[in-house]
Chains A and B, each alone.
Chain A
């Protein structure tokens, strides 16, 4: 098995590096700094860290005020609280004024696991993508997470970066260079394309391996930036492979699949399919059990690609 690391650990480490390089960076948390890993920063730079307690809406307001005063602000909590609980505070004080606030949230998706539906974040991408002007990023592994956080720090404007809780395989190498709004072809292929984000990218690569053994050459595109979307990569995949499967650890509406399908429908309609969380909340369970329930596994992806290919040219 490849090296495993959680994206949130990469976030914690990167924040400390950024704190050393840039005195203007301020970090906020809401009583979850042990989980979001902002406590690494808190230990190094206590004067530039504010724990707002269990008061996420207040934290977003404070973040906005700091940003309006010239600070580059990172605000962290769990994805579910960062999104649904603070929607209006973010809308009014961060999105519309285009503030330099980076909301980096851990515990995205259902891979949160045993804590159950209250802690599983399945609507956050739809909510953050709905804000005009927000940049929305879902890194595929710890390497990409670290670089995305760096890019957020050096690019003006509001960002949402969604990280997952579990340790996940590291699939990119040190030579990798993340750029906001750029998709990465992880594996070539001409029979179909899987476009995925977050921890589903590693599973898509496994699926492509399995499909290759059956003679199906499946392209795998990592789409870390949901907004702004890399439209060229999507159109190219539609033109060159003629079928697209979108895979994400999020509700099937409002996230990656919805966004990719708009581009495909407009520029180059081809058969598409969507592997995501069905229209329901999930119970407590082990992360892998929950992902399995929604077909969010390598086998589930391979299965979906096979049936998608059978629809080509119909």
Chain B
């Protein structure tokens, strides 16, 4: 992992900050080692590495959720290896950007990214779902470095993220919050309660990314609970809304950059993806939502991901 020294402002530049508090920044800024952003080609390779981890971890565990982990590999790669301001050697650094995994069943993806970023040894990934492992079946914020929220019951991450974002305002910190939601998860009413609240509180340091893979468990989202028109919903809830191809790293990076410039309102990014992406026989295959690859499946999958 490459690091470079970068100056980071401890105090935020929230518009209401007075000249006095802004001038205090210079004295309180400190040097922090931050990961060097990867290039698009490097990120493409990294996403593949994360996919390989996901296959290996779930196959070893014999259970878990590969489909919705694979679909968001580029989104999580773009965040952890290019966009986020974070410090793997100091997971609780108060000024870090926060990544909140609301669709907690994609824990294998998050663990893979955290391990690759240096939060814990890559070898630990293979303890997924074993008794007393830090790699819990769904995320547990009390034991895993880099995990911001205990999740697994869907629909709760956006509210949690708003809380973190509001705290930045109160503490005059300039970190940003990124919440990854499933499109099926958007069935939950709490998501829309949160969507309304974020716009109401004019929270502009939060980005909701919806992994729009068009599948949930019982079927396609249009069959089970039709969420369309999804982008229009976020728009009508007064979110700046950007649709991207969720497997195109440059589009994701551009959207995250655009979101930073939006003031006075939150940003939603609808990332169009394919569930099970990267492994031919898992793509759009409902069976692999919550079923681990068999050893034979895993062998085939890893070959495809070479």
Q: How far is the CA of A285 from the CA of B189 in the complex (A)?
A: 31
* Chain B: CB-nearest residue to A115: B137
Stretch at the interface among B41-49, B217-225, B245-253, B264-272: B217-225
Q: Is B85 an interface residue (CB 8 A)?
A: no
Contact A57 B189 (CB under 8 A): yes
Contact B218 A34 (CB under 8 A): yes
User: Which of B63, B155, B184, B224 is close to A114, meaning CB atoms less than 8 Å apart?
Assistant: B63
A-facing residues in B131-151 (Cβ within 8 Å): 131-133, 136-138, 140, 150-151
Contact B138 A55 (CB under 8 A): no
* Chain B: CB-nearest residue to A33: B218
User: Which of A29, A33, A85, A284 is close to B133, meaning CB atoms less than 8 Å apart?
Assistant: A284
Which residues of A have CB within 8 Å of B132? Answer: 283, 285
Contact B104 A118 (CB under 8 A): yes
Q: How far is the CA of A184 from the CA of B185 in the complex (A)?
A: 42
Contact A53 B224 (CB under 8 A): yes
Which residues of A have CB within 8 Å of B224? Answer: 31, 51, 53
B-facing residues in A249-272 (Cβ within 8 Å): none
Which residues of B have CB within 8 Å of A150? Answer: none
Which residues of A have CB within 8 Å of B218? Answer: 29, 31-34, 39, 51
Which residues of B have CB within 8 Å of A53? Answer: 184, 187, 216, 224-225
User: Which of A29, A33, A115, A285 is close to B138, meaning CB atoms less than 8 Å apart?
Assistant: A115
Q: How far is the CA of A29 from the CA of B136 in the complex (A)?
A: 27
Contact A81 B153 (CB under 8 A): yes
* Chain A: CB-nearest residue to B216: A31
Which residues of A have CB within 8 Å of B242? Answer: none
Q: How far is the CA of A58 from the CA of B193 in the complex (A)?
A: 14
A-facing residues in B84-120 (Cβ within 8 Å): 104
Which residues of B have CB within 8 Å of A286? Answer: 131
Q: Is A116 an interface residue (CB 8 A)?
A: yes
Looking at the assembled complex, report how far the CB atom of B218 sits from the nearest CB atom of chain A, in whole angstroms: 5
Q: Is A203 an interface residue (CB 8 A)?
A: no
Which residues of B have CB within 8 Å of A39? Answer: 218
* Chain A: CB-nearest residue to B63: A114
> Which one of A55, A85, A113, A285 has the greatest number of beta carbons of chain B within 10 Å?
A55
> Which one of A35, A39, A54, A116 has the greatest number of beta carbons of chain B within 10 Å?
A54
* Chain B: CB-nearest residue to A29: B218
Which residues of B have CB within 8 Å of A34? Answer: 217-218
Q: How far is the CA of A283 from the CA of B143 in the complex (A)?
A: 10
Which residues of B have CB within 8 Å of A118? Answer: 104, 137-138, 150-153
Contact B189 A55 (CB under 8 A): yes
Q: Is B302 an interface residue (CB 8 A)?
A: no
Q: How far is the CA of A118 from the CA of B224 in the complex (A)?
A: 23
Which residues of B have CB within 8 Å of A52? Answer: 187, 225
Contact B216 A119 (CB under 8 A): no
Contact B187 A55 (CB under 8 A): yes
Contact B152 A115 (CB under 8 A): yes
A-facing residues in B39-65 (Cβ within 8 Å): 61, 63-64
> Which one of A31, A114, A284, A290 has the greatest number of beta carbons of chain B within 10 Å?
A284
* Chain A: CB-nearest residue to B65: A115
* Chain A: CB-nearest residue to B286: A34
Q: How far is the CA of A285 from the CA of B150 in the complex (A)?
A: 17
Which residues of A have CB within 8 Å of B299? Answer: none
Q: Is A289 an interface residue (CB 8 A)?
A: yes
Given A31-B187, A115-B137, A117-B140 in contact, is the A85-B153 Cβ separation under 8 Å?
yes
User: Which of A57, A58, A284 is close to B129, meaning CB atoms less than 8 Å apart?
Assistant: A284
Q: Is A64 an interface residue (CB 8 A)?
A: no
Which residues of B have CB within 8 Å of A283? Answer: 131-133, 136, 140
Looking at the assembled complex, report how far the CB atom of A132 sits from the nearest CB atom of chain B, in whole angstroms: 26
* Chain A: CB-nearest residue to B221: A53
* Chain A: CB-nearest residue to B61: A114
Proximity bits, B147-165, A CB within 8 Å = 1, else 0? 0001111110000000000
Contact B155 A54 (CB under 8 A): yes
Q: How far is the CA of A117 from the CA of B225 in the complex (A)?
A: 27
Q: How far is the CA of A85 from the CA of B190 in the complex (A)?
A: 11
Given A39-B218, A81-B153, A285-B131 in contact, is the A31-B137 Cβ separation under 8 Å?
no
Contact A31 B152 (CB under 8 A): no
Contact A289 B131 (CB under 8 A): yes
Which residues of B have CB within 8 Å of A114? Answer: 61, 63-64, 129, 137
28 examples of A-B residue contacts, CB within 8 angstroms: A31-B187, A31-B217, A31-B218, A32-B217, A51-B218, A52-B225, A53-B187, A54-B154, A54-B184, A54-B188, A55-B188, A80-B153, A81-B153, A115-B63, A115-B137, A115-B152, A116-B137, A116-B140, A117-B140, A118-B104, A118-B152, A119-B152, A284-B129, A284-B133, A284-B136, A285-B129, A286-B131, A290-B131
Other contacts beyond A54-B155, A117-B150: 16, CB < 8 A? A31-B184, A31-B187, A31-B216, A31-B218, A54-B154, A55-B188, A55-B189, A58-B189, A115-B138, A116-B138, A118-B150, A283-B140, A284-B130, A285-B130, A285-B131, A285-B132
